[in-house]
Chains A and B, each alone.
Chain A
Amino acid sequence: MIAFVAFSLRRAWQGLWHNRLMSVAATATMVLMLALLSGLIILLTGLDATLKYVEQEVQVVAYLKDSANPQDINLLETAVGQMPQVTEVSYVSKDQALKDFLGRHPDEAEVVNSLPANPLPASLQINLRDPNDYLDVATYLRNQAPVDRVLNIKQTVDQMVTVIGILRAVGIGVLVVVGLIVLFIIVNTIRLAVVSRADEIEIMRLVGASDAFIRWPFIFEGALVGLFGALITIAVLWLGQGPITTVMADYFKVLPVEASATVGRDVALVVLGTGVGIGVLGSYLSIRSYLIR
């Protein structure tokens, strides 16, 4: 068994080396596809997390003017709390807002501390009984003196749902197309390997090699292309995780995106599985026709 795996791996490696130009091309397209795949996963995960947060938590946010009178704010808070559509209202001071922000983005502390004043406004965070009452409450709030602007979270949510839907559809469409191209390239890479070994295969059959010995090296060859592609992609993501996180955090600054600790691991697993899976499928498809007899 170990001898068999060693044999298959050795031959797979020889095959890749023999057609190295094709192998590099196959690996490169594999990396391209896997990078697209992981980008899509990361983006969708971020958007989904944001969406969940927004849907579950506060439904209306009213930012208050820095110049607003504290008494007016108190009155407004009480008035809003008594509205039948509202289940809960809480006041977030400028200091609290800054604290919350720094809690979510500790890296930004230096930047924030270098500012002459706290840029974040105080706000009223309001939970609704029914999200559809949004418009009533928002209209009321907009006409109150201390209110600077009302964050239209329902609209944001609706927009996000649409954007996520489109992104997902387009992303999956592009992925499928790129995936098929990758598959096509792998099938051809392996077919080339099979053709360049036609003599060896003939001899193997004549001396009584089992199908496993004839086929598995090619399967390994495809799997290796997938593996290398996946490892390169993961390495690139690893090196780029700092910038990626920063960009994501910037992008979702208004909202607290908590990139879950398992995202990285999940992406790595998906990338690995997809890469090796497509590699194996491609080689299987290209040897199937050739070796049946």
Chain B
Amino acid sequence: MAMVSAASSNPGPNQTRLPGTPDKPAGKPVRPRVVLAMEGVTKSYPNGKIALRGVDLIVPEGDFVFLVGPSGAGKSTIIKLLIRDEMATKGVVLLDGRDLARLKRKDVPRIRRKIGIVFQDFKLLPHKSVRENVAFALEVTGAPRETIGPVVDRVLRVVGLTGQADQLPGQLSGGEQQRTAIARALVHNPRLFIADEPTGNLDPLISWEIIQLLLRINELGVTVLMATHNAEVVTALRKRVVALEDGRVVRDQTEAAYHRED
């Protein structure tokens, strides 16, 4: 396995970190743990389409990574591999040290709880209120009833939706809907936060609000991986950028900008 390059790792201020985030040993400097690692990953879909061709990617804890590239480059495929919605055809995918190929079926849900994920299309349940949508993620993972309320309150505070908790998704703006989805993705104190084009359906101003929220989550110590076409955001933030093209990593730079060819 390749050495971990100390990328723009920035463990956040500790007083605001989410409960459940492992404590850093105080005092001596430590090499950041690797949250996800892919090595020589190839993915071909059953229809013969090869979506990834030998991808290497290492993301240390606390990183904020933009995944860019033209449509069809393989960004969403990487994400599907990480949540083990799909399996790599070749190569190794490690999540928090676990080899996803060797994960037993019954252990998959537990691994997924280490990941918070949001999509362009929010994926909210239209007949449930904001609060119920968020609580749903806890109910269906068997959280004790009495713990659900406090956790929901906490994540709604993080995303700033306390006031809209009882509204239905249809009564919210796109940005508020995405913030609801983000709140839901936070309930299990994920180690990795994945956003697949989270601003794809939002206008620029609202997009910035969502980005600010993701930055804040990153500051709380959560590693963030965001697939996007949003050049303005990528260029402005000067974070690590991994560019894919036709299933290959063609660029992996820290404090980078969006290139025209992305």
A binding-site residues for B, Cβ under 8 Å: 3-4, 7, 199-200, 202-211, 213-214, 293
Give the most central of A199, A210, A214: most B CB within 10 Å.
A210
Give A10's nearest chain B residue, CB to CB: B139
List 10 A-B pairs, minimum CB-CB distance, nearest first: A208-B112, A208-B113, A207-B137, A209-B140, A208-B109, A210-B109, A204-B140, A213-B140, A209-B141, A208-B141
* A-B pairs with beta carbons under 8 A, tally: 56
Q: Does B142 contact A (CB under 8 A)?
A: yes
Contact in complex: B142, A210 (CB < 8 Å)? yes
Residues of chain B within 8 A (CB-CB) of A4 are: 142
- A208 to chain B: which residues have CB within 8 Å? 109-113, 115, 141, 188
* Count class of interface residues, chain B: 20 to 34
On whether A205 and B112 interact (CB within 8 A), knowing A3-B142, A210-B142, A211-B106, the answer reads yes
Q: Which residue of B lies closest to A1 (CB)?
A: B142
CA distance A210 to B107 in the complex (A): 9
Within the complex, the shortest CB–CB distance from B111 to chain A, in Å, comes to: 8
**Chain A CB within 8 A of B28 CB:** no
Contact A199:B141 (CB < 8 A) given known A207-B113, A208-B188, A210-B109: no
> In the assembly, what is the distance between CA of A4 and CA of B125, in Å?
21
A-B CB contact pairs (8 Å), 7 listed: A7-B139, A203-B125, A206-B83, A206-B112, A207-B141, A208-B111, A213-B141
Which chain A positions have C-beta within 8 A of B113? 207-208
CB distance from B208 to the nearest CB of A (A): 25
A135 to B110, CA, bound (A): 79
Q: Mark B110-134, 1 if CB is under 8 A from A, else 0.
A: 1111010100000101000000000
Q: Quick one: which of A203, A211, A214, A293 has the most chain B CB within 10 A?
A: A203
Residue in A closest to B190 when the chains form the complex, CB atoms = A208
Q: Which of B85, B139, B141, B144 lies in contact with A210, CB distance below 8 A?
A: B141
- Given the complex, which residues of A lie within 8 Å of B184, measured CB to CB? 207
Within 8 A of A (CB), among B192-246: none
A7 nearest in chain B by CB position: B139
Say if the beta carbon of B102 comes within 8 Å of chain A: no
- Beta-carbon contact of B123 and A203 below 8 Å: yes
Residues of A within 8 A of B145 (CB): 3
Instruction: List B contacts of A207 (CB < 8 A).
Output: 112-113, 136-137, 140-141, 184-185, 187-188
Closest to A213 in B: B140
**Could you list which residues of chain B lie within 8 angstroms of chain A, going by C-beta atoms?**
83, 85, 105-106, 109-113, 115, 117, 123, 125, 136-137, 139-142, 144-145, 184-185, 187-188
Contacting B123 at CB < 8 Å: which of A206, A211, A213, A214? A206
A293 CB contacts on chain B under 8 angstroms: 85
CB distance from A197 to the nearest CB of B (A): 10
B146 to chain A, nearest CB (A): 10
- The complex places the Cα of A221 from the Cα of B112 at a distance, in Å, of 27
- The reply to whether B125 and A199 form a contact with Cβ atoms under 8 Å apart is yes
Tell whether, in the assembled complex, residue B117 and residue A206 are in contact, meaning their CB atoms are under 8 Å apart: yes
Contacts A206-B117, A207-B113, A211-B109 hold; do A3 and B144 have CB atoms under 8 A apart?
A: yes
On chain A, the residues within 8 Å of B137 by CB distance are 203, 207
| Nearest opposing residue in chain B for A201, CB measure | B140
Select one of A202, A203, A206, A213 contacting B142, CB under 8 A: A213
Residues of A within 8 A of B125 (CB): 199-200, 203
> In the complex, how many angstroms separate the beta carbon of B190 from the nearest chain A beta carbon?
9
A202, A206, A207, A214 interface centre (most CB from chain B within 10 Å): A207
| Neighbouring B residues of A209 by C-beta, 8 Å | 109, 140-141
Query: A214 to chain B: which residues have CB within 8 Å?
Result: 140
Q: Give A191 Cβ to nearest chain B Cβ, in Å.
A: 20
- Shortest distance between the CB of A218 and any CB in chain B (Å): 13
**Beta-carbon nearest neighbor of B133 in chain A:** A203
* Residues on the B chain within 8 Å of A3, using CB: 142, 144-145
**A206 vs B84: C-alpha distance in the bound complex, in angstroms?**
10
A238 vs B20: C-alpha distance when bound (angstroms): 58
Q: Which residues does chain B contribute within 8 Å of A205, judged by CB atoms? A: 85, 109, 112
Q: B187 to chain A: which residues have CB within 8 Å? A: 207
